[in-house]
Amino acid sequence: MLDMVDIRNKRWKRAVLMVLWLPSLVWAVGLPARGEIVSRRGLPPRRGLPPRRGLLLSRGVFAPSAGVVWRVSRSSPLVLRKPEVHYHAWARIAAMETGVPERILWGIVQVESGGWPWTLNVDGRPERFSSRAAMLRAARTAVARGTKYLDIGIAQVDWRWNGARFGWSLARAVDPVENLRVAAKLLAKMRHRSGSWLGAIEDYHGGTNWERVNYAQRVVLGDE
């Protein structure tokens, strides 16, 4: 009996959250994508890792979380600049190929990497690089030493679970075009499995119920 009450409470809370910002999801799917806005904040927590610090819930509004410090090697200094226009064009093409709403795919890119294609997340530690070659070297080093969690590229695709989609080729995984195509295919598959784009966004990130809902909210409303 207690289990049934607990399940009903969880469903009720989830229903309230969906009602509060479901209109924003509809808006995100229906409108054209926004311009190239690069987030300076850090990456979200990865699957199975400790939750991100600084998350606040005040008066029903999610407050932005604290940023993280990017670790940049001396051999490949980070040059901060906005992503080139063609990165967004690649996302548009990948979205069209798979039927994924462009705004959702680009929203995930903004949350995952801020639109920076040379991004890795190694065991929960975000790293940005100045070039594709530098990121590829770091990715190969991480794989060689048996890194458990490795998320790659502009859409932060999980290597452990989705490396086969790149033919287990890190060179393909770090390519922004291939990275976006795989991410879009994953979203389309998750949409089919979950029955909704909201569920697909949550499944792309995974984690606890709170982390899933917070992630989807950031994708839909923007990580500003």
Q: Residues 164-208: pLDDT tens digits?
A: 999 999 999 999 999 999 999 999 999 999 999 999 999 999 999
Q: Which of 1-10, 34-43, 115-124 has the lowest mean pLDDT?
A: 34-43
96 in Cβ contact with 106 (< 8 Å): no
Domain that holds residue 134: 2-221
Give the amino acid at 25.
L
Question: What residues have CB less than 8 Å from 61, skipping those under 6 apart?
Answer: none
Q: Determine the pLDDT at residue 86.
A: 77
CATH number of the domain where residue 94 is located: 1.10.530
Q: Give how many domains the chain has, as a whole number.
A: 1
Predicted confidence (pLDDT) per residue in 2-38, tens digit = 344 444 454 554 554 454 454 444 444 443 333 322 3
For the chain, the farthest-separated pair of C-alpha atoms sits apart, in whole angstroms, at 60
Give the amino acid at 134.
A
Residue, of 60 and 167, whose pLDDT is higher: 167
Question: What residues have CB less than 8 Å from 63, skipping those under 6 apart?
Answer: 55, 56, 57
**Parallel, antiparallel or unpaired: strands 61-63 and 56-58:** antiparallel
Global pTM reads 0.66
Whole-number average pLDDT of the chain: 74
Cα–Cα distance measured from residue 188 to residue 101, given in angstroms and rounded to the nearest whole number: 10
